[in-house]
Structure 1
C-alpha cells in the first residue's frame, strides 16, 4: 500500500474517517449452536469447571497460564471469585449446550476502546472442550462479538513463545503472527518472550466466512469428523 504524504512530504498512515471510541465489552450472554458464552458466575460455574479441569491427567494445561494448577476446590473457587469480579480481564464461561455444563473459560483483556484494540486471553479449556467443534465455535462467537457488535479494529492473541500448541491454535483460528517481544513478562518465577498474533478488521470478513463454513453441519460426517479444515475454508473465502 502506497503511503500518503502530509504537507511536509512525510509518509503517514491511512486515514480513519469518523472514528469514535468503541464501547467496552459487557457481561453479555452469547448463544451459539453448540455452546453458550456467559459471564463467569461462581455459584453457577465453579463446581462444573473444577470437575471438568480435573479430567486432565496432570497439570500441564496450566504451565503457560499465570495461575494454577489447582488441586483443591477451595483454591480454585477463590481464583474464580477474583476472575468474576475483574473488569479487565473480563472473564467468560463456555457452557456446553448439550449438557448444560461449564467446560472452560476465556477473557477479553487489555481493553483499549480509544483505539479499538482488544485481546483474547486466559484461555483455560478443559479436556472436554479442547479440540472440539464447540471450542472453535466459542472462539468464533467471541471474535464476532468484538468485531461485529462492538466494532473494534484489532483483536490480539499473545502467548509464551515456547507454547507451541497456543501458537498453532492462533494460526488455525486465522490470527497472523506479528513477532516476538523479548523478555516481555515475568511469571511463575521465569522470564517469558511473548509471541504476538492479531486479526484486524480488514481480515475479519475472510476469517468470519471460514468459521461459518467450517461450523456448518454439512462440514461434518456422521461420526463428527470435519470434511474440510478451517484453514482451507478460510483461504478459499474472498477477502474484503
Structure 2
C-alpha cells in the first residue's frame, strides 16, 4: 500500500500547499481520500483524472471535498467521458459540493455511496472500517486495511478515546494536528493538537505518525517537537508529494 500526499493544509490552501488530499494505491487500485481545495492540480501531476477508481470523503467541509467538483467535471465534460466514479461519503456530506452545478449536469459522472460512520466499506482491495469522531459536522475516522498493511486516517477530529482504538497497531496513523499544543477554547472539542496526536500514537502502538491539517503558517518544527514528546517512533508532516510505502 502506497500513500501519496497531495496536500495537508487546514482550512484554506496556501501558495505552496493544498488542503487535505491523499492518494492511496494498492494492487493497481487508486483511492482518493478527501479531495480538498487545490488538490486536483496536485493529482494531475501524477495521473489522469480517469485513472482514479474511487473517492472516499471523511466529512463535508470544503477543505476536504471541494475539489470533487472539478474532478467530476474533468471526467464528465471531456471528449471521452470516464466511467461513473464511485464516491463514498457520510450521509448528506456532499450535498453542497454536488449542488454547485445545474441539477443533473454531473449525475452520470458518479455513483454516490452514502454511509454512516461506524459502517464497514469494501472499496476495491481495501476494507475501510469507519468510526464517528468528534467534529463540527459528522466526521468519519477511517481504518484502511489490506493484506500488506493498515493505514488509519482521522479526518478532522477533537480529542476522543476512539482515535487510539481505531489506530491500534496500525502501520501509519495520519492524524489531524491543527495546533501544536493548545486548541482555542471554542474549538477544543473538535480539533486536535500535535501533542495529543503523539500521545494517541503511543497508546495505539502505531509504527509511524504523520501529522496533517496544520493551520496555515504553522511552523513544522514546532508540531514535530510537540508530537515527539509523546511518541518515540518516526514522525513526519504531510507535505505535497510525500510518498509513504506501507
The two structures share one fold, judged by TM-score above 0.5: no
Q: Whose RCO is larger (CA < 8 A, sep 6+)?
A: 2
Rg larger in 1 or in 2?
1
Task: Give the TM-score normalised by the residue count of structure 1.
Answer: 0.29
Task: Give the TM-score normalised by the residue count of structure 2.
Answer: 0.28
